Structure formats: C-alpha cells, structure tokens
Amino acid sequence: MKSVEQIKAAIEAAVPGAALEALTNPGPSAQHSLLVDPQHAPAIARFLRDDEELALDYLSNVTGVDWPVKEVTEKVKVTKTVDGIEQSVEETIKRTTGGYLEAVYHLYSMRKKHGPVTLRMRTINRTDQVGLPSLTPVWRSAEYQEREVFDLYGIVFSNHPDLRRIMMWDEFKDYPMRRDYVEPDDYDYEPTPHDDVLAKARAHQQRLGASGEEISQ
C-alpha cells in the first residue's frame, strides 16, 4: 500500500483545493494519519473509497478526541549576539495547544487487503463551532459511530441521516467523554446504586430540603 505521504499527494492531485497534513505517530505501531480540512473531507472520502489502487471500502471505526487548551513549556535554541559575538543560547518559551474536538476514522480495503489509513478532522473550537461533515454518505458504517461521537463529545455532524443521542438520554446536557466533564452527584437514575455511587446519592439527598430544593451550605 502507498505511504501516507503518497496518499496525501494522490488526494491533492484528485481533489483540487484540499488541505492536508501528514501527522506522524512515533509509537511502535507507526500508524501515521492524515489531517484533512472539513470542507473537502467528503470529496476526499469518496476518492479514497473509489480510487482503484486504494479502494478503501471499509470503515472499521470512528472515535472522538477532546483536546482542551493546554499551555506547553519547551526549550528552544536561538541565536543571539552577545558582546558582538553570535552565540547559540537556550530559551524557554510557552505556547498553547488544543482547544478543539477531533473525529478519527480508520479505513481498510477488503478488496485489496490493506490498511489502515487513518483520517482526522478537527473542529474550530470546543464551544460554539463544533461542526464537521458526516462521512456516513460515503461509508454507511459511520452512522452509529458518528452518533456515539456526537453523544459523548458533542461534535455535530452535518448531513448525518439520523443525528441523535445513542447512549445518553435526550434530556442529558453534557458530554461524558470530554476531559473537563464533571460527574453529577445525583444518581437517582441508577437502578441499583452501590458503594461510592450509593454514597454520592445519599449525600445528594441530604443536601435537599423537604421542598426538594438544594440547601445552601
């Protein structure tokens, strides 16, 4: 099978205007991935599925990743002039990373017996711009899995045929797989509470007054 760089070049030749970035994986698996721009993602997906050499006809799974804003400190070498002499010195800089949600797609070819090829799409932020295009029209197996990512991470997939919660109930307001998710202390919905769940439920009930409203501490 082609390398990630070769697949990237093939996509750029087939899909005018597509913006892609090859992301390397330094781990033992060395499963590198392609970060694709959401605008061209459906066209890229169709190319990967229909290209005779790649024939990526099987989507095995879709996963979500939450990347909160994080401050990173790193040391870099810079050249400075000290007493008229250029020297290489080490400086500590701080930068921020993250602040977006990510959908990750793993693709295989059943016909060619190769893969995976991993695609990534990123939202603009984690708050009010969390939309990405659905790839269900290209690979039907994405339907339930994109619903799960929507349910647990909050990514809104446009052009999805049936985008609604699949694990949490309709009235649930949060996204349990986000890194800043805080578990509720009201476990009334737990059918058989036990151990720490039961302790949380009892503590919650103790904070409620006779009217059912929470008592201020």
Picking from 86, 122, 120, the residue whose alpha carbon sits closest to that of residue 101 is: 122
Cα diameter, the chain: 78
Give pLDDT, residue 101: 98
34 with 23: CB under 8 angstroms? yes
Locate 66 and state its tokens: 């939450």
Query: Rounded to 5 degrees, what are φ and ψ at 128?
Result: -110, 0
- Count of all residues that appear for the chain in the document: 217
116 with 106: CB under 8 angstroms? yes
108 with 114: CB under 8 angstroms? yes
Give pLDDT, residue 48: 98
Digits of tens for pLDDT over the chain (217 positions)?
899 999 999 999 999 999 999 999 888 877 899 999 999 999 999 999 999 999 999 999 999 999 999 888 888 888 888 777 888 878 888 888 889 999 999 999 999 999 999 999 999 999 999 999 999 999 999 999 999 999 999 999 999 999 999 999 888 889 999 999 988 766 555 555 567 777 777 777 777 754 455 444 3
Give pLDDT, residue 87: 80
Give pLDDT, residue 211: 45
Sequence ranges of the chain with CATH classification 3.30.460.80:
4-67+100-179
Q: In terms of CATH, what superfamily is 4-67+100-179?
A: NADH:ubiquinone oxidoreductase Nqo5 subunit (3.30.460.80)
Locate 142 and state its tokens: 């994405």
Give pLDDT, residue 16: 96
Give pLDDT, residue 44: 98
d(CA 65, CA 156): 14
Give pLDDT, residue 216: 41
d(CA 53, CA 64): 28
Give pLDDT, residue 185: 67
DSSP state of 28: T
For residue 206, the surrounding DSSP H or E stretch is helix 195-206
Question: Burial of 11 by CB count in 10 Å (0-12 exposed, 13-18 middle, 19+ buried)?
Answer: buried
d(CA 12, CA 17): 7
